[in-house]
Structure 1
């Protein structure tokens, strides 16, 4: 079997596994829409106070919910599930390698997150929000998803069990989504905390999409291609580390 066929077969198996888990489907496609209903319908962004930015500036924040939570929780739990079920031990005896397995998981997750992102954009249009669409969406969403697929695989490889992996994923995702120039502007955060924002991949996701949707500015750090380049580097690093730490051979005889 060729590499392409191995990756395709593993991708289809991963997709079927996802669709069988209703909780995962809910949090991928329904939870972000509930969040939009709360913020866009009840909190009313664009007014005064903490959420005083224009409604359109929160589009990256809503998308970040899907782009961060889904890859982290899904891939982390998949790694733990494969390890506990001794599936890696079986896969280690086949031609499929750890990089191919992770690529298959990433491709499926990118497809699911892309559908979730479309649902988010449609929901925003449904509540009357201005959605600054940009061709850069087809770059930023997959790349950032790949970043958190790699991070999710690392978490799953290091976690003791699935509960620990999910807890760690949520514990990392929540502050990243809330505090990376998404829902809360950096000016509203303490001065001592602001340098930490620069370390979050979500910051460059939000900056890049805002710049692309508003003006397409070309200066660091708001540059659209520069922010995308940072995310590419993050994706390469996290996926590379994930392949190395996957418990692929540790369970094999």
Structure 2
């Protein structure tokens, strides 16, 4: 078992511990990457299916019958940032969950990971970094489609857009880690997907502007992390910097930090 998580300020804020956690996280990530790199094409292809279907059905199909959206020149432009957020969410959550679940329940190699003499936070961060890598691989392909469709290269490759994308990947990879540590079977993963990921795909501001909804619906939608990602990516791609919703960054960062605390605590008490 890894050492128990020590949340005391004096211990965790010491530079040697931070450095140790960082290098251990990179070690865990490298082990994951050795497995990921031989499946890069498969990961990219699996994460592109849903966004391409949505782009064809909604962006090119339904979009032609709609008026000018609140952001972007066409409805296709409006949903493209949401599709990037959606693809990163799906692959980060599913890939991370199935990776941990497979190690725990089938290959039975997860116990070896828990026996490593490294900090539980490093275990969590290493797994999240692998999830972020999955999300960025898939999102990069959707970004290429978005650039070819709109011709706005800098809109989809500016630092603010990429920062939001990384934060979104971190949040959903973190959720995937926690789900993977708690599920009791592969079938249980489907429950998380059906009751969390699928509803968020349609309610997270990917297909519509949440500001146009009644206040009681807004309260629900603004609980979802994907809503903040969709709003931020759309603004970063099309709007001037003065109109960017800066509140999206601290909210996503706070969610990622909260998940890191929960995930590290889960690793420190995991029994497999």
Q: Which runs of 5+ in 2 are unaligned?
A: 1-19
> What's the RMSD between the two structures over aligned residues?
3.0
1:152 maps to 2:176: yes
Which of 94, 119, 125 is the equivalent residue of 1:73? 94
1:197 maps to 2:218: no
Which of 36, 39, 46 is the equivalent residue of 1:27? 46
Q: Which runs of 5+ in 1 are unaligned?
A: none
1:82 maps to 2:100: no
Residue number in structure 2 paired with 1:235: 256
Which of 116, 127, 141 is the equivalent residue of 1:105? 127
Aligned to 1:96, the other structure's residue is in SS state: coil
1:99-152 CA-to-partner distances (Å, cap 9, x unmatched) read 222212222222232232221121123345757333211210111111111111
CA–CA distance in structure 2, aligned partners of residues 203 and 124 of structure 1: 19
**Distance apart, 1:199 and its partner CA:** 0.5
**Distance apart, 1:179 and its partner CA:** 0.9
CA–CA distance in structure 2, aligned partners of residues 70 and 113 of structure 1: 6
Which of 237, 242, 245 is the equivalent residue of 1:217? 242
Which of 55, 63, 67 is the equivalent residue of 1:36? 55
Q: Which has the higher helix share?
A: 2
User: Contact 1:46 / 1:52 at 8 angstroms: preserved in 2?
Assistant: no
1:213-253 CA-to-partner distances (Å, cap 9, x unmatched) read 312235xxx623x21111000100112212222486412xx
User: Contact 1:140 / 1:209 at 8 angstroms: preserved in 2?
Assistant: yes
TM-score, normalization by structure 2: 0.76
CA–CA distance in structure 2, aligned partners of residues 124 and 216 of structure 1: 20
Aligned to 2:242, the other structure's residue is in SS state: coil
- Does the C-alpha gap of structure 1 residues 4 and 217 become closer, same or farther in structure 2, counting only changes over 3 Å? closer
CA–CA distance in structure 2, aligned partners of residues 3 and 229 of structure 1: 23
1:7 maps to 2:32: no
CA–CA distance in structure 2, aligned partners of residues 37 and 8 of structure 1: 39
Instruction: Point out 4+ residue stretches in structure 1 off by more than 6 angstroms.
Output: none
User: Contact 2:103 / 2:110 at 8 angstroms: preserved in 1?
Assistant: yes
TM-score, normalization by structure 1: 0.81
Q: What is the aligned length?
A: 245
Aligned to 2:216, the other structure's residue is in SS state: coil
- Does the C-alpha gap of structure 1 residues 25 and 67 become closer, same or farther in structure 2, counting only changes over 3 Å? closer
